[in-house]
Structure 1
């Protein structure tokens, strides 16, 4: 018996209109017909799961999440395969990270099988919304928030889990063109003992002001340093960083409670090591990065994440000076190779040696 019976949308978007919309979906603005909902309460546990028409959420003004920010989310994609089928990429990793985020924010942990069933049922229901084309996918956003109506400072006793889906194209409009970074010396993304390793909305809210500062400097993204010493590179507002050295080795900041454990990051480490690259997870100071680029030791830098996949970094600006990586105009060889290899696996076009792709249906 399914935990998510499907209530078909009474007025779905007509096929002809949907196909037109999918020609240029953009990112995060085009949504499918349906959504998943599942409730949790202290006395009933997980209950009332279903797939139904996507619709607004009615909330009491005293709903706990509006006051104390108990909220977590995930980001993942469903891909169109060459034979017309669909697949997910390492979805069990998203389920496990969702549990870790819930644990950190004193929320109930959704069982992995329920998480995966919710995702798979929604993708099956809205499979026609998976767009064709390079870089396109169905972006899936599972999230959960405290839905109890109360104004006391304590973990809520009721939660609502929802999954929505958005047809997307490339995250950055410039495609594979290198992005520019502003290295923030005034703001930190997270501190030791905080929520940096959890995927919660508050972390992203805190990054918006420095991100705006980066935009004012003519940069695409902000790069954060550690909160304790303000010298070591951590991550961007929503992506992990890798540095490629002239000997072919890669460096990436080690996972701590201030850095999100990216699933794309983990995949890149595995693929790079498979290809014979040494990958070191170690602290890397901004001053050292700048010196290594200027000396020619660091030849490539790239960011990675579910939304953007693998994105080269071409220009870096900071209060300590600016520098350009490579020619600043195109991805380096290692970056391009890893990007191509990862996307080929995700779309079922290459050998999936690690069993990462989960075909649906």
Structure 2
């Protein structure tokens, strides 16, 4: 296979590590600092641009979105632009419309934004929405719709997305998640007729059917992804899952051509595999892999054969091969403090 790159955010160091991936191992090429508290980024691979959410620090009083240019040979990232934000930093960033629209979700600020991007420069927000503790956002592949996940309000807000980056609520404007479940991250399948949402508090992956014409979602079912023998209890907003040994869901990604969902849980530090049937329905996990401590973020390679996992209580990332619902550890390699976000390039 052709070598690719893997980027990992290290929030404790305020840095992003760049690794070369040759199909069997990771080699760290560069570490780019000056990115205070970075815990999310999105990559425009066609333009070799990285948009990173940062917190106040490194001489800046405001949170912001930093645009970085990626040198694929050296792995170095160089800043080319910065957009300061008021009201809170970004916890999730996504690109739409071929990289010309940037979407963001702020957990602490309780708001989401859409903005136009020109030559890597993020413009002023075109639309701003408000829901409690927004934690993620994803657009449809055609750029016509966007979905924001509100952990605090237990809902997914659904919008049409214009070419001018304007967000317009659908009818209905929101679709509910189970009360107290704490929806956190979401992914769309390749056909975009299903959306899967991970819940932080109840430890479920929720399956929503999606209407491709209207963009509207409808909740169908949920499947557990937390380890049943670890004594974990359902969490709640404001609780400390480490002190009370509570479910603490973090991230999810599709693999095996959409036939499998991988999900991470931070209290027991596990990855679990949930099978996806042809109709999009789910089977609760029966496969669990102990992994990096407190695995907040991970990524699946484009071919679905490898996972790279980062743990908030670790300075390493783990590389796995994936076969069905099993993972085999290939390598652990140093990255930085409080690693929490991973993307293949």
TM-score, normalisation: structure 1: 0.29
Higher helix share: 1
TM-score, normalisation: structure 2: 0.30
Rg larger for: 1
